[in-house]
Chains A and B, each alone.
Chain A
Amino acid sequence: MTHSLWRSLSTHGILILGTIFMGAPVWIAFMSSTHPADTLIRDGMQYWFGGHLLETYNEVLFVEGGVMKKVTASRMLYNSMILGVGFAVGKVIVSMSAAYAIVYFRFRLATPLFWVIFMTLLLPLEVRIVPSYGVVANLGLLDTHFGLIVPLIASATGTFYFRQYFKSVPEELLEAARLDNAGPVRFLIDILVPLSKTMIAAILIIMFVVGWNQYLWPLLMTTQEENYTIVIGIKQIYQVLSEGGELPQFQKAFALTVLATLPPVAVVLVFQNWFVKGLVESEK
């Protein structure tokens, strides 16, 4: 379709403005993180490189900070990585199994169990946060990786994505497999899983981002600084950085935000196509 010159110009204009709007905060954060503390106090945020990149990031990543002076950014990144990967993998395994059972088996409790799972969609964690904390504390799971990751898997989103996907797989496949004497486990491993590779990849990517970005739950769950994930750590440390000590260390605060953003954004950019596909397919 042809468009007038004016329309093309305004289109590029709008898109460029949009890109600047979306990109500016991270750009500024990154640029500012490469300047020394006094530059920032004196001149405000920076829009270009400041030459202190290695120094600042080195400090942030490897020198202990925080209230108790017990945690480095690299430790927090490590915690976040465990959360992200653990959540993604756990979610995929648990929800894929549940979806498999519901779609491919005829058993008595199928319908009621389906509704139970469905209900979890209605109530995000934020709504039942206080008692959830209570349960986990009583089980002695505070400050543990298990307690951090597993309760998050309670929501049904993954199960629904896989259920939707399995329903779209041609039935003939199962019929052929049964003729070939494949039992349910065989069918799942040899046929269904390889078939679902793209979907699994897409869900893994999305769930990694979701897991990495968890805030409220890790905030409540972790009491020791060494267990902070980067996403909650930046908030706790920000307090210290801006108020404690002589000179507010804004460049470190900026550096922390950049570090917290880098992995999930990198994953999303590198796997862009799978990510978009997973996101769009899932909400049907």
Chain B
Amino acid sequence: MSTLTLSGVNKRYDNGAHAVRGVDMSIADGELVVFVGPSGCGKSTLLRMVAGLESITEGEVAIDGRRINEISPADRDVAMVFQNYALYPHMTVFRNMAYGLANRGMAKVEIEAKVRETAKMLRIGEFLERRPAQLSGGQRQRVAMGRAIVRSPKLFLFDEPLSNLDAKLRVQMRIEIKRLQRELGVTAIYVTHDQTEAMTLADRLAVINEGRIEQMGSPMELYSDPRTLFVASFIGSPHINLLPARFDQGQLLVGDTTLTGFADLPEGVPLMLGIRPEHLSLSADGTFEMSIDLVEQLGADSMIYGAVSAFSGEEPIELCFRAGEATRHVPGERLKLDFQTDRAMVFRQDNGERLI
């Protein structure tokens, strides 16, 4: 059993920077929670506070109900996989994996067995006598994971472990990490800035922005029911279309287009209409007209980008429309588009709050 609870966790640095602001969350046993957000949002800091590598300015972190704020990293029973692997360069792969166990006084025979077992699981058994410098990036990554797994900790912590790998390897390792975590059933926190990684790995996802948790929930929840503008635009690839709007006398004004079907919105407040690319469709008398700038053919899918004619003026507003397999449209064409009103979202521009 290993649950993690964060209550009112804050991190302030000496220079005044407030990196983590009042974070509360509970992570259940066996869950894989992903912290996702843009660079500098505080997700790594939060992870490191759980690990004990950063001090906790305010608030409490508890594992299985036991407060760990003051406990040293080695005693928290957590294991971490670093972005650049952080393998001990002067030790063999075997010793790298055995180090943590040896320091905890485990018997040599036991250590040997555990290391070999884990190495087998990760398919690095043949590298045990090699040094990290003699391995490739992917192999080092697996050794780093092996070092964490072999300790059978209460918590796995992953700090952007796949960022240094090439794209193909990344996809492969992603799947392997998910599979291993399921198999071992160890609670895990995974930090990444890549929303695809986040969506595919997470049982639950926490979107973090400027030290605050914007929203936490399952990937689909965050996708179809984002609570803020930030979450709506962060989750989903390609990202959601955003059109500046105003509400006036019961109607939503988007550029020079008037939309009905929206009610109870505050007047005189700048709003944002959000429509995901896949919720747009071609329609003869569609609400919006766009002139195509770019067509991306991805094989099984295609994306069309263009400027919305409803907005004339200095800055053209771009729309992205998911056109399906092998579209025949070309740049320069004009398209008329309609959207599913019940899937559309309206946000306040000032605080990002979702109204519809």
Inside 8 A of B152's CB, which chain A residues have their CB?
none
Minimum CB–CB distance from B307 to chain A (whole Å) comes to 44
Please report which residues of chain B, range 32-66, place their CB below 8 angstroms from some CB of chain A when the two chains form the complex. 52-55
Q: In the complex, how many angstroms separate the beta carbon of A162 from the nearest chain B beta carbon?
A: 30
The residues of A that contact B54 with a CB separation of less than 8 Å are: 2
Question: CB of A122 within 8 A of chain B?
Answer: no
A270 contacts chain B at the CB level, 8 A cutoff: no
CB nearest to A1 among chain B residues: B53
Q: CA–CA, A1 to B52, complex, Å?
A: 8
Q: Majority SS of interface residues in chain B?
A: loop
**Count of A-B residue pairs with CB < 8 Å:** 5
Min distance, Cβ B156 to any Cβ of chain A, angstroms: 21
Q: How far is the CA of A275 from the CA of B54 in the complex (A)?
A: 34
How far is the CB of A91 from the nearest CB of chain B, in Å?
Answer: 37
A3 to chain B minimum Cβ distance, whole angstroms, is 10
Chain B neighbourhood of A1, CB < 8 A:
53
CB of B76 to closest CB in A, whole Å: 12
Q: How large is the interface on B (under 10, 10 to 19, 20 to 34, 35 or more residues)?
A: under 10
Task: Return A221 CB to nearest CB of chain B, in Å.
Answer: 48
Contacting residues, chain A, for B55 (C-beta < 8 A): 2
**Distance of B103 from chain A, by nearest CB (Å):** 17
Q: Which residues of B contact A2 (CB under 8 A)?
A: 52-55
The B-contacting residues of A in range 1-29, CB under 8 angstroms, are 1-2
Could you say which residues of chain A place their CB within 8 Å of the CB of B53? 1-2
Q: Within 8 Å CB of B52, what residues of A?
A: 2
A219-250 Cβ-contact flags toward B at 8 Å (1 or 0): 00000000000000000000000000000000
A153 shortest CB reach to chain B, Å: 40
CA distance A2 to B70 in the complex (A): 11
Chain B residue with the shortest CB-CB distance to A2: B55
Q: How far is the CB of A4 from chain B (nearest CB, A)?
A: 8
Nearest-neighbour CB distance to chain A for B78, whole angstroms, equals 15
* Closest-CB distance, B52 to chain A (whole angstroms): 7
Q: Give the CA-CA distance A2 to B49 in the complex, in Å.
A: 10
Please give the distance in Å from B72's CB to the nearest CB on chain A: 8
A1 vs B55: C-alpha distance when bound (angstroms): 8
* B54 nearest CB neighbor, chain A only: A2
CB proximity of A71 to chain B, nearest CB, Å: 54
> In the bound complex, what is the Cα–Cα distance between A2 and B53 (angstroms)?
6
CA distance A1 to B73 in the complex (A): 10
Give chain A nearest CB distance to B69 CB in angstroms: 11
CB nearest to B52 among chain A residues: A2
A231 to B332: give the CA distance in the assembly, Å: 84
Q: Provide the bound-state CA to CA distance between A2 and B11, in Å.
A: 13
> In the bound complex, how far is the Cα of B74 from the Cα of A2, in angstroms?
12
- Complex CA gap A53/B55 in Å reads 51
Chain A nearest CB: distance from B73 CB in Å? 9
B109 to chain A, nearest CB (A): 33
Q: How far is the CA of A85 from the CA of B55 in the complex (A)?
A: 51
> A47-58 CB contact bits vs B (8 Å, 1 = yes)?
000000000000
- Min CB distance B68 to A, Å, is 13
Shortest CB–CB separation between residue B23 and chain A, in angstroms? 19
Query: In the assembly, what is the distance between CA of A281 and CA of B54, in Å?
Result: 33
Complex CA gap A2/B71 in Å reads 11
A2 to B52, CA, bound (A): 8
A113 vs B52: C-alpha distance in the bound complex, in angstroms? 58
Distance between Cα atoms of A1 and B86 in the complex (Å)? 15
Shortest CB distance B22–A (Å)? 21
A243, B52: Cα distance in complex, Å: 65
B49 closest partner in A (C-beta): A2
A4 and chain B: residue at smallest CB distance: B72
Closest to B55 in A: A2
In whole Å, how far is B74's beta carbon from the nearest beta carbon of chain A? Answer: 12
In angstroms, Cα B54 to Cα A278, docked, is 35
In the bound assembly, the distance between CA atoms of A159 and B257 in angstroms comes to 77
CB closest chain-A residue, reference B70: A4
Bound-complex Cα distance A2 to B76 (A): 14
CA distance in complex: A2, B57 (Å): 12
User: Complex Cα distance A140/B93, Å?
Assistant: 66
B21 to chain A, nearest CB (A): 20
5 contacts between A and B (CB under 8 A): A1-B53, A2-B52, A2-B53, A2-B54, A2-B55
Per CB-CB distance, the 5 closest pairs between chain A and chain B, nearest first, are A2-B55, A1-B53, A2-B54, A2-B52, A2-B53
